[in-house]
Structure 1
Amino acid sequence: MVKTNMNKAMTYTVGAFVALCAFAPAISGCIPRQPGGGGAGADASTGVANLPDAKACPADGLLDDGEDNNNQIALHKGRGGYWYTFADQAGSTITPQAGALGGTFSMSPGGANGSQSAARMNGKIGGSGTVFAGMGFNFVDPKAPADISQYKGISFWAKRGENSAGAVRVKLPDVNTDPEGKVCTECFNDFGMDIQLTTTWTQYFVLFGAAQQQAGWGQPRPGAPERAKMFGVQWQVNTPGADYDIYIDDVQFTGCP
């Protein structure tokens, strides 16, 4: 099933990036792991990859692996939202075209670990002002808060293209930060983490208990994401003037009871 995106234009204030996967990764809750067991997290004595909260969930914890080659996430436990893209109105471009402009998301050939398909976005970030572009999915459709409190985090595989910026913020919109939650007065400062991608497919872990809002803006500012009322997951690029080409694959929940 394919569905046209209906995401709305967003207003976003750029905060300071902190590469949490590179700075004290075991504390931050986000750590990369290379294919084949190499890289950070491969040793059982180190890394978030080996913590209980990062343990892979059963098959029904899968969010999307792209192998059905459509724009709907895996149909498990009432989930079934759709992938979309979004961008500012200050000059940033994005492919697939944003739903607000009539576009429909589609998967791209070539995924992690030899799989057939992955989610991909590419384009150029505007040179100045409040600039951003991103892709993501809602957990359910029509868009509504979903209770994912049984999970402790997400994992995914990601890489960048050869000439792409690598700084990406993983965002977790919830009832307190998304305007459709009807709570925030300064919205879109979602809990999340900043990661630095390489040109090699790498697995990343984002634990909900370690996710943070960006400093200096956003209302309200609760202590943690509201896992009982979360909308979805996004990957966003904010580097002014940057070319970007970002791939995401094999997204799943971690830390099942």
Structure 2
Amino acid sequence: MDPSFSYFLNFPHLNPMLFQNCYAPNYSSLPSPSIPYFKEETPTKAKYQRTWSKLQVEEVFNLSIQYCQNNNKVLEELTLNDFGIISIGLSQSPEQVMLKVKEIVANGTLRPGKWSQAEDDMLAELVRRFGSKWGKIAGLLNAEVHNRLNIRNSKTCKERWNNYLNPNINRGPWTEEEDTILLEGFLSHGNKWSVIAKMVPGRIEGLVKNRIKSLIHKLEHELDEKDSVFDKIKAQIDLKKTFQARFNVGSANIVNEKGI
């Protein structure tokens, strides 16, 4: 027998006769070509940028003053066409430049968002008359003080009143008892700040939200690996209650000793 033919018979997978009995050789699968891994890039959120920086406010005001001097005009009487010329080369539109200059003139300062005493007095009067109708209050304030320019809106009026002018709001230091109530409220209601604010009379929603976040941020830095932030909050509440109870007992003993 031809040696090459005997070599052929010794390897069944090369023998075509074996396929007549429906024999199918067991070929191992070939390795798949390696496909490079491309990580899907998620679009990054654009960072918020203020419309005006401090230097830009100073620049546009100086440009407006210079324009008035060169054209014998009064700052308060400049029109949109004038601000179209002033805004050439600036990143802000003529409308934005006009509103900013009008705001500076009305407030008497270059500080952004600064409220004048006349605005504060009128805001207090409007709140007394209309309560918390902030949209209506903003409209009347703009019409009276800002020549109907949209300098103030409902949000800024509400924040100005609640954060600075409302005499019924407690802006003093937070007490241990209030902190305990806030933490208990957070465990029960989560981030429902308006609900929690009702648990501490004299405090508004914004102040409550900031205080709770400050307390939690402080607790997070004290966490052990095995503890969760909620466990730490519960432990902090128990600690504050224990301290308060001991303080009350000590105060009562002092009063009894003095015979008061």
* TM-score, scaled to structure 1: 0.18
**Higher share in helix:** 2
Higher-Rg member (1/2)? 2
Q: With a CA cutoff of 8 Å and minimum separation of 6, indicate the structure with the bigger relative contact order.
A: 1
Which has the larger strand fraction?
1
TM-score, normalising length: structure 2 = 0.17
